[in-house]
Amino acid sequence: MTAVSGFHNAKVLGRDVPRVEDPALIRGQGRFADDIMLPGMLHAAFLRSPNAHARILSIDATAARALPGVHAVLTMADLAPHLADTRLRVAMPSPSYRLDLHRPVLADEEVVHVGEPIAVILADSRYIAEDAMAMIEVDYDPLPVANDCVAALEPGAPTAHDGAPSNLVAEMVMGYGDVDAAFEAAPHRFHERLTVHRGGSHSMECRGVVAVHDAVDDRLTVWCSTQMPHAAQRLLCDIMGLAEQQLRVATPDVGGGFGPKLVFYPEEVVVAAAARLLGRPVKWIEDRREHFVATTQERDQIWDVELATDDEGRILGVRGQLIHDHGAWTARGVNVPQGAMSAMPLPYLVPAYRIDLKVAATNKVPVTPVRGAGQPQGVFAMERLLDAAASGLGIDRAEIRRRNQVPPERMPYETPMVTRGGIAITLDSGDYPKCMAMALDAAGWEGFAARQMEARASGRHIGIGLANYVEGTGRGPYEHVSIRLEPSGRIFVRTGAAAMGQGTRTMLSQIVAEQLGGDMSNIEVIAGDTHAAPLGIGGSNSRQTVMAGNSAHAAALKIRERVLEVAAQIMQTAPADLEIEGRMVRAQTPRNVQMSNVQMSNVQMSLGEIARVAYGQAGFKLPGKGGPGIAASEEVVIDAMTYSNGTAVAEVEVDVETGEVAIRNLVFAHDCGHVLHPRIVEGQLMGGIAHGIGNALYEFMGFDENAQPLTTNLAEYLLVTATEMPPVTLLHMESPTPLNRLGIKGVGESGVIPIGGAIASAIDHALEPFGVRVAKLPLSPVDVLALINEGRARSEGKR
Amino acid sequence: MGVSDLPEGSTTRRIEVTVNGEVRSAEVPVRLMVGDFLRQNLKLTGTHFGCEHGVCGACTILFDGRAVRSCLMLAVQADGHEITTIEGLALSTDTLHPLQEAFCRTHGLQCGFCTPGMLTTLIEFLEDCPDPTPEEIRVAISGNICRCTGYEGIVAAALEAAEVLRARRAGAA
């Protein structure tokens, strides 16, 4: 796995430099939320609803409050007098909403999903808090349940919220062109009804919040395992009625995010409010069972879609309906189905397109982005349709894609679609056909038919499949980065970007070091702290390297200019004659000139010495024209997203007796522009691919007819382990985006996006003799056997 | 002290455990998990809980040299035994264990949360199986879940470390 990079003459960019995160983490000296221990700290446990839908008639915590070691049990009735608002108003703007579903800080009248928090217990230890939890008596009156997003939209269906007019949370149409006319005129139409099931993000670290209140100044510090500390600060201020200066949100080390940690949760309010109310530090650490019922999930979608083509398989139009399960509350918005719909046609020239979206409320855990954020489903739908067309028209599956891919000569290609913010979706760069060709070559696509025949002759069912994707990355408008060179000679970088394990600090250190001497060990990155960065957006949409990276680059260039200006004045030379090397600024002298120590001191200065001069002294003039100190702050604004692309080719073997699907080989060719750190890019891809394999074959978040979750531990909900990972070949193309100075695109979610589509395609191919067509994900061995049996029954019926 | 020596109804017990080479003694609640003992009593927070039901492997420690789940074992069960945690793996403050070095070289960690369990599991494994194949390594860590890396870097790290450890043993012999 060797990557190339566009940064040819760079000091540290484009290189596999050691990660700055590793030295602490590898020694067990990281500091995650649960590692924060404060004197007098209380431990919180949440009492959660065991019902998917019920009215709360009464809550009696008398016995729990009397348990030794319990300091308080708080319900909404206890907290409400201390809050400016009792709802989490987090919905991103959209004209599509038909219901406002702002979730409460704690449920008090009605619970709408299993796991919804009702009360918090604060005790000397988590053990005692959980003892007390069992002593709280809640009287529920069960209500009818909306457990399925399709049924939930039927007339007369039980509503997820008592008294709501319906379960229709939002509806919208995405599309362009006269799609019905295109279908009218088309010689061929292909239809699919596709289901993608929900799963979780399952970062290995669950969520966690620690809050401490300083009563002297009425200030709160909240450490939270969030991807979006600034959003958390704003919401906490709104709900608690505090000013920004009173409330600091800081992220400790975060043990994986993958989407759900960008959401703002009730527990964050409750822990912060409890710390202020009780005057004691409070810690809450989510356990895995809670993670299954209280941390947001994604992917439940039903696509009823059609593709129209001409005789050569050229796409004339795509249309259909999408039903999206929203869960019980609006914990983010309609961005997931929007992302799914805009991802669907992106790799291809689709002249007319229309998807009618209906978003349904159900009595399940709220839905928000999980790595991929709708894009895996949109890609699955498109790729399934193309496979159906290839099969119907007798065209090779790769060939039909080649005929429809956006060609490189059309770049930049402005699609008629817009993002959720109304910004034009323009494919900025890339050579999609070439990228696909790389993947096909490496996977042995051409010669596969012969291998398949040979395998079939010996009773083995192997198949190969592919899927293309284009990922929207680097969502704007900005990310904050400031840099200060301090008199100690150390360089401090502060950013609104939030690190969650993906190497954000390494990325920023690299970009800053590149301009300032190349010594990454001289740089300290403070990420995800609202009191270090005045504004910030945080981690989502594979955005931070693009947005924070470019702000860091711009700020580092300013610092460089200022350092050289000050140094040149002191050293009485021109800035152009100076270079920063390591922690020193040196005059460029001919290499063969030998100098004494005294001469040396005239031609070199440390960064610290320069910073001291620039800092200034009372009564003395400052050097240069740049004002005091050496600092720069940047928020590079880029509204347009930059689009990464790629192709996955999967080879599978299906055991037709057991239904087991084994992935024999996986090739992933992609293009994320210039690669800043090849190993980190590959690590992102591999993690995403593993997640995609899980979504395709293993990860199933089950619910029964009463919306009771059935898979609430990691033995029932299967995450991919090392033995399920196939051999993976990663191939890189680098088409720099013209949208930013570094030419970089995001890659954080790329790996997951095409995997389901590619594996489904390969399973179809392996099971061709049975006429199998995969129409849902994930596929368990039981599902595969059912498909085989259906296929057998069909062919027997024909006889 | 045996259980019969405890006063009736006692919910705590004094234990003595050797942790990372140091004898530590404490009065602990009988229901305290050994992982909580390490993290809360001894402030050795390098051991992480990922699921608390014995599946994810993040909390794995070495117990008398064997890899065990610290979320499934009581602190009182550790009385009189030896425990090694991630904090005790480095040979000195500046010298990491070869497996730790290899993890950094091969990008075997991203968020670092599963890393303590991966390291302890693999250290036991490499003792038992000094010259493993990649497939054997995958089986060895199949009880440890990582959501970040796709395991590729971890397998590579184990292979590299195995080689270093073999060379070291050969040199010492």
pLDDT of A602 over the 70 cut: no
Average pLDDT score over chain B:
94
- pLDDT at position A595, please? 57
Q: What is the mean pLDDT of residues B155-167?
A: 98
Q: How many helices (H) and strands (E) does chain B have?
A: 5, 5
Closest residue in chain B to residue A23, using alpha carbons only: B104
CA distances to A138, A265, A317, A644 from A109, in Å: 11, 19, 48, 46
Give the gap in angstroms from C-alpha A677 to the nearest C-alpha of chain B.
11
What are the DSSP calls for A168-229, one per residue? Answer: EEEEEEEEES-HHHHHHH-SEEEEEEEEE--B----SS--EEEEEEETTTTEEEEEE--S-H
User: B131 — contact with chain A (CB < 8 Å)?
Assistant: no
- pLDDT at position A599, please? 59
Instruction: Report strand pairing: A168-176 vs A70-75.
Output: unpaired
Contacts of B38 in chain A (CB under 8 A): none
To 10 degrees, what angle do helices A375-393 and A397-404 make? Answer: 110
Give the gap in angstroms from C-alpha B173 to the nearest C-alpha of chain A.
29
CA distances to A347, A402, A412, A522, A646 from A408, in Å: 11, 12, 8, 42, 14
Question: A444 CB contacts (<8 Å, ≥6 apart)?
Answer: A451
Q: What is the mean pLDDT of residues B65-82?
A: 98
Q: What is the mean pLDDT of residues B14-27?
A: 97
Report, in this order, helix, strand and coil percent for chain A, each rounded to 5: 30, 25, 40
Phi, psi of A488 (to 5 degrees): -70, -10
Instruction: Report strand pairing: A413-418 vs A424-427.
Output: antiparallel
The first and second tokens of residue A21, run together, are 């995160």
The 3-state DSSP class for residue A727 equals: coil
Say whether B55 and A715 touch across the interface (CB within 8 A): yes
Gap between the Cα atoms of A754 and A735, Å rounded: 20
User: B110 — contact with chain A (CB < 8 Å)?
Assistant: yes
Gap between the Cα atoms of A474 and A419, Å rounded: 12
Say whether A28 and B100 touch across the interface (CB within 8 A): no
Give the gap in angstroms from C-alpha A778 to the nearest C-alpha of chain B.
18
Q: How many helices (H) and strands (E) does chain A have?
A: 20, 31
Instruction: Report strand pairing: B82-84 vs B12-19.
Output: parallel
Say whether A719 and B145 touch across the interface (CB within 8 A): yes
Say whether A127 and B29 touch across the interface (CB within 8 A): yes
Among A26, A35, A37, select the one facing B100 at the smallest CB separation.
A26
> Residue A149's pLDDT band (boundaries 50, 70, 90)?
very high
Say whether B55 and A1 touch across the interface (CB within 8 A): no
The first and second tokens of residue A140, run together, are 């529920």
Looking at the DSSP assignment, which residues form a beta bridge with residue A463? A652
Residue A17 is classified by DSSP as P
Gap between the Cα atoms of A474 and A638, Å rounded: 9
Say whether B52 and A501 touch across the interface (CB within 8 A): no
- Prediction ipTM score: 0.95
Residue pairs spanning A and B at CB distance below 8 A: 178
Q: What is the mean pLDDT of residues A436-442?
A: 98
What are the DSSP calls for A89-129, one per residue? Answer: --PPP-TTBSS--PEESS-SSEE-STT-EEEEEEESSHHHH
Gap between the Cα atoms of B26 and B19, Å rounded: 12
Say whether B152 and A686 touch across the interface (CB within 8 A): yes
Among A576, A577, A566, A574, which residue's Cα sits nearest to residue A606? A566
The 3-state DSSP class for residue B80 equals: coil
pLDDT of B1 over the 60 cut: no
Q: What percent of chain A stands above pLDDT 90?
A: 95
Say whether A725 and B151 touch across the interface (CB within 8 A): yes
pLDDT of B9 over the 80 cut: no
Average pLDDT score over chain A:
96
Among B48, B87, B145, select the one facing A721 at the smallest CB separation.
B145
Among A763, A793, A767, A794, which residue's Cα sits nearest to residue A776? A763
Among B53, B55, B115, select the one facing A26 at the smallest CB separation.
B115
pLDDT tens per residue, range A744-776: 999 999 999 999 999 999 999 999 999 999 999
Contacts of A202 in chain B (CB under 8 A): 147
Gap between the Cα atoms of A88 and A92, Å rounded: 12
* End-to-end Cα spacing for chain B: 42
Question: A206 CB contacts (<8 Å, ≥6 apart)?
Answer: A285, A286, A287, A288, A290, A291, A295, B50
- pLDDT at position A3, please? 40
Gap between the Cα atoms of A713 and A200, Å rounded: 11
Residue B41 is classified by DSSP as I
Q: Are B138 and A727 in contact (CB under 8 A)?
A: no
> Residue A631's pLDDT band (boundaries 50, 70, 90)?
very high
Residue A778: cis peptide before it, omega within 30 degrees of 0: yes
Q: Global pTM?
A: 0.96
Q: What is the mean pLDDT of residues A781-786?
A: 98
User: B136 — contact with chain A (CB < 8 Å)?
Assistant: no
Say whether B40 and A255 touch across the interface (CB within 8 A): no
Closest residue in chain A to residue B51, using alpha carbons only: A288
pLDDT of B53 over the 80 cut: yes
Say whether A203 and B111 touch across the interface (CB within 8 A): yes
User: Residue A629 class from Cβ within 10 Å (0-12 exposed, 13-18 middle, 19+ buried)?
Assistant: middle
Contacts of B45 in chain A (CB under 8 A): 28, 31-32, 34-35, 37
Say whether B107 and A679 touch across the interface (CB within 8 A): yes
Contacts of A751 in chain B (CB under 8 A): 150
Q: Which B positions 154-173 lie with beta carbon below 8 A of chain A? A: 154-155
- To test the contact with chain B by mutation, choose from A2, A17, A19, A26 the residue with the greatest count of B C-beta atoms within 10 A, namely A26
The first and second tokens of residue A311, run together, are 């005789």
- pLDDT at position A4, please? 45
> Residue A1's pLDDT band (boundaries 50, 70, 90)?
very low
Angle CA A88–A91–A94, to nearest 5 = 160
The first and second tokens of residue B71, run together, are 């979320």
pLDDT tens per residue, range A2-43: 344 578 889 999 999 999 999 999 999 999 999 999 999 999
Q: What is the mean pLDDT of residues A473-489?
A: 96
Gap between the Cα atoms of A136 and A131, Å rounded: 10
Q: What is the mean pLDDT of residues B88-109?
A: 94
User: B43 — contact with chain A (CB < 8 Å)?
Assistant: yes
pLDDT of A474 over the 80 cut: yes
* Signed CA dihedral, A528, A533, A536, A542: sign only: negative
CA distances to A129, A419, A499, A504, A529 from A250, in Å: 25, 30, 11, 15, 4
CA distances to A278, A347, A673 from A670, in Å: 53, 13, 9
The first and second tokens of residue B77, run together, are 């069960």
CA distances to A172, A321, A344, A416, A563 from A354, in Å: 10, 8, 11, 12, 55
Angle CA A669–A674–A680, to nearest 5 = 70
Q: Which residues of A456-466 are buried (b: 16+ CB within 10 A; e: fewer)?
A: eeeeebbbbbb
Residue A719 is classified by DSSP as P
Q: What is the mean pLDDT of residues A781-799?
A: 89
Among B46, B55, B155, select the one facing A29 at the smallest CB separation.
B46
- To test the contact with chain A by mutation, choose from B33, B99, B111 the residue with the greatest count of A C-beta atoms within 10 A, namely B111
Gap between the Cα atoms of B86 and B115, Å rounded: 9
Amino acid at site A629: G
- pLDDT at position B3, please? 43
pLDDT tens per residue, range A240-287: 999 999 999 999 999 999 999 999 999 999 999 999 999 999 999 999
- pLDDT at position B4, please? 45
Instruction: Report strand pairing: A70-75 vs A87-88.
Output: unpaired
User: B74 — contact with chain A (CB < 8 Å)?
Assistant: no
